[in-house]
Structure 1
């Protein structure tokens, strides 16, 4: 099981929750004001406009959304739910040490830390304008058969579902690491796919949220490659990782 190092700011709740086997019940939208507007202070690295290329989500309570809710409900094994809980941590080293080894830590790879931090910030917040455009409720707010694996997190209740910022940053990390450690690229991409899918297993996002998040992440990384500073960060990280993994 992936260790939680918590290099970046994110805390996980204790224990995984079991998914209840009851019929879906629609609930009213959350009354709390969402707390994730995009501002320059929140994300100075945003360089893409996701409202241009991300389509609307499925309509609320449509056949497409009901089919997605069925996927979110599972069933999921307790082990996979626990993995989803651990994947809630905003920490690329905890996310990918199962592929890159126990020595893959921020302390051992400071240049890689800088590159991944830049990538994560650029991707993770780039979908915020789309969230506020569509204001899609999270699946556990629309279906009481879905119990999120992160209990009691009011920030989730007070924020929107589409696209998944967590999926965007996780996919961005995967793309960057696959480029920097090509000998393990396939396994890194698979771990990135699994990391982003944890948001569905956890009950906090629909599959279409996750796919849209991956699209946002890919666009953000493609755009970052035109940035000279990011190119310098990549080259420093490439040299650092090559010494450890032989690429």
Structure 2
């Protein structure tokens, strides 16, 4: 029995070491309209100076502002500050933003019923650390289900917190940092939503927090990169799902492409801090070991 346990530990260590060869992979390059839009001037255009006076209305703030009081999990306060200062949005009056708004108007004109159904579904996904603190909360189970959305979407219903408690612990820590990062940036910069600048936009829903940076895109890519540390061979699939999620926010008319690209870059920078954090490294090792033991009998092939 002792030899069997030692052999199992050795095998899991080898698997983890192999997985770490993929760790810290560079961020995929800009593509499609994101590359085209970022090539345009991001500086103020005097011809549209009025747009630079528009900020997210204080009357529309929500309770999400309380996340400014929460301590990060894997990040330090200094890292949160540095990361929050590493991104900025183009001037509202810039040629880049005008092109972004035109792009979103074009998406709006081509929205299909099938698209609306899918993006609305994706828009309802969201894990909230505060809900996870109250097991009797009416949304507790759904919240945990949403925590595993990306894994479940790609590999089936058996990918859940009950079957993978170590993976759940890792994702919960990541998502706590994500919410803190999201709202630290949003309430520091107070970017108006696209529909505040372009009256022709008809968003599928309105959001009660500032636009920059996109929270949905941040969690989509941060989870995709985290899952990819657990299952390196599925990185392409996780990144593709994150891409769909970020583009859904543009189809909905609630996020500029620049909101989404900033969040993609930010999530990758967060991962670099994580890979040098002993607590994250420990939790990742445990999640990888759990995955390799439990998943063979549960994962949809």
Both structures adopt the same fold (TM-score exceeding 0.5): yes
Is the Cα–Cα contact under 8 Å of residues 46 and 126 in structure 1 kept in the other structure?
no
Which secondary structure does the structure 2 equivalent of 1:126 belong to? helix
Q: Residue 52 of structure 1 is aligned with which of 76, 85, 101?
A: 85
| Aligned match of 2:267 | 217
Paired position in structure 2 for 1:32: 59
Unaligned runs of 5+ in 2: 1-50, 127-145
1:197 alignment partner in structure 2: 247
CA RMSD of aligned residues (A): 2.6
CA distances 1:115-151 after superposition (whole Å, capped 9, x unpaired): 111112213331434333432101122223323333x
Would you say how many aligned residue pairs link Structure 1 and Structure 2? Answer: 216
By relative contact order (CA 8 Å, sep 6+), the higher-ranking structure is: 1
1:136-155 aligned within 5 A: 136-150=191-205
Are positions 1:113 and 2:168 aligned together?
A: yes
Task: Report if aligned partners of 1:126, 1:216 keep a CA contact under 8 Å in 2.
Answer: no
CA distance in 2, matches of 1:64, 1:29: 19
**Paired position in structure 1 for 2:70:** 41
After superposition, residues 65-104 of structure 1 pair within 5 angstroms as: 65-73=97-105, 74=107, 75-88=110-123, 89-90=125-126, 91-104=146-159
Q: CA deviation at 1:44?
A: 5.0
Bigger radius of gyration, 1 or 2? 2
- Residue number in structure 2 paired with 1:62: 94
Match of 2:12 in 1: none
